[in-house]
């Protein structure tokens, strides 16, 4: 499957309860990370991996997301009038990025249920699922390697990351075997949000997946699991356990990742990304050093 034809699906219909009250009227994927909403970074990551068709799964408060990716003629003409080309380019960047589509989830019945809503748009092709609150630093590209492994093995590929044991209960966790490819593992089992004692490894599933259309058949009959939600992890566990299937593989990511769905991680993400920016970094770095001394 050529990269240019692969579509991306961004589920953004969760309730975002970890980020209340900010997420009461706004999806967490729209929270600004420095000066762009989190979801824009994810769309840019898809575009950088050669994907130009993006489907966003939206829930309540959908307008904020679709408005952000829409053209705003009155704002654009004001900036043209003022001759403010820099700001004009920033405004145009989000509406010209990719071909962006939306579908509603209805009720937030889980990530697996959200992904199943992409079936009609995706059709018979492979596709990438990218969680809208999980950011991968553009200096450490991950998706191209996942797409390559998917093409090579004809199997579902998930991104894995080593996490400290005290955080393992927040993730789907994989039991794995080595493969001949450095940094690529075969997944022999997956469990959603296990306790530290029950976790089969310290390899957590992070928010990037490259899946074949066969996942939809599995999701159609996946029963609600942990938290009463239809879990993508449970559907992948079924694929991993199927002796007649191609299995499920993991690409172990060792780069920079930012989780913007939880408050402390979100604050850290903003600081790290702002420090790396040429326009903000030097001033912020100096201030941070002074501030740290007052702690
Ligand atoms: P999370 O579990 O992180 O999202 O789901 P949440 O349920 O919104 O967050 P909390 O725990 O209440 O704070 C992972 C991703 O799946 C999407 C979310 O928007 C997020 O990007 N999701 C989750 C859906 O699109 N639909 C759902 O029913 C559940």
How many domains would you assign to the chain? 1
Residue 207 confidence (pLDDT): 95
Q: What is the CATH number of the domain that holds 95?
A: 3.90.550.10
Q: Is residue 124 part of a domain?
A: yes
Q: pTM for the complete prediction? A: 0.93
Domain holding 143, by residue range, is 3-261
Instruction: Tell me, using a 6 A CB cutoff, whether residue 13 lines ligand 1.
Output: yes
* CA–CA distances in Å: residue 209 to residues 84, 93, 248: 39, 25, 10
Output the pLDDT for position 79: 85
| Local structure of 4: helix, strand or coil | helix
Residue 72 main-chain phi, psi, to 5 deg: -125, 80
In a domain, 95, yes or no: yes
Asked whether residue 211 is domain-assigned, the answer is yes
**272 within some domain:** no
Quick check: CB of 132 below 6 Å from ligand 1? yes
Predicted pLDDT at 4: 42
Ligand 1 centre to CA of 226 (Å) is: 13
Q: How far is CA 26 from CA 14, 21, 130, 276, in A?
A: 11, 9, 19, 27
Q: Is the CB of 30 under 6 A from ligand 1?
A: no
Asked if residue 18 has its Cβ within 6 Å of ligand 1, the reply is yes
| Domain-embedded: residue 281 | no
Query: Which of 42, 49, 56, 63 lies closest to 6 in space, CA to CA?
Result: 49
Q: Does 151 reside within a domain?
A: yes
- 44 CA distance to ligand 1 centroid (A)? 20
Indicate whether residue 114 lines ligand 1 (CB < 6 A): yes
Give a yes or no: residue 156 inside a domain: yes
pLDDT of residue 197: 92
How far apart CA 64 and CA 70 sit, in angstroms, is 10
Tokens of 273: 């990304």
What is the full per-residue pLDDT of the chain (295 aa) written as tens digits? 444 489 999 999 999 899 999 999 889 999 999 999 999 999 999 999 999 999 999 987 778 898 898 878 888 888 888 888 888 888 887 777 789 999 999 999 999 999 999 999 999 999 999 999 899 999 999 999 999 999 999 999 999 999 999 999 989 999 999 999 999 999 999 888 899 999 999 999 999 999 999 999 999 999 999 889 999 999 999 999 999 999 999 999 999 999 998 899 999 999 999 999 999 999 999 999 999 999 8
| Pocket flag, ligand 1, residue 105 (CB < 6 Å) | yes
Q: Is there a domain that residue 35 lies in?
A: yes
Residue 58 Cα to ligand 1 middle (Å) = 11
In the reported structure, the alpha carbon of residue 240 is separated from the centroid of ligand 1 by a whole-number distance in angstroms of 23
Q: Give the three-state DSSP class for 243.
A: coil
């Amino acid at each position: 499957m050529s990269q240019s034809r692969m579509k991306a699906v961004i589920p953004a219909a969760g309730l975002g309860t970890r980020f209340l009250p900010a997420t009461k009227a706004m999806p967490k994927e729209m929270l600004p990370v420095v000066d762009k909403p989190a979801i824009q970074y994810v769309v840019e990551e898809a575009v950088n991996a050669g994907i130009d068709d993006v489907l966003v799964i939206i829930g309540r408060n959908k307008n904020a997301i679709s408005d952000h990716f829409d053209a705003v003629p009155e704002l654009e003409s004001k900036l043209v009038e003022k001759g403010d080309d820099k700001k004009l380019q920033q405004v145009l960047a989000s509406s010209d990025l990719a071909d962006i589509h939306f579908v509603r989830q209805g009720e937030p019945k889980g990530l697996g249920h959200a992904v199943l809503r992409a079936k009609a748009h995706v059709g018979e092709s492979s596709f990438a699922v990218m969680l809208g609150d999980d950011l991968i630093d553009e200096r450490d590209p991950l998706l191209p390697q996942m797409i390559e492994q998917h093409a090579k093995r004809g199997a579902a590929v998930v991104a894995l990351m080593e996490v400290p044991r005290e955080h393992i209960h927040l993730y789907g966790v994989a039991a794995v075997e080595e493969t001949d490819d450095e940094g690529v593992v075969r997944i022999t089992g997956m469990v959603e949000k296990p306790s530290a004692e029950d976790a089969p490894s310290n390899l957590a599933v992070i928010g990037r997946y490259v899946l074949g259309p066969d996942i939809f058949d599995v999701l159609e009959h996946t029963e609600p699991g942990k938290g009463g939600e239809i879990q993508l992890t449970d559907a992948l566990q079924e694929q991993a356990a199927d002796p007649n299937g191609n299995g499920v593989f993991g690409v172990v990511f060792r780069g920079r990742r930012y989780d913007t769905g939880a408050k402390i991680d979100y604050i850290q993400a903003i600081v790290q990304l702002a420090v790396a920016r040429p326009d903000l970094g030097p001033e912020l770095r100096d201030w941070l050093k002074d501030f740290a001394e007052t702690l």
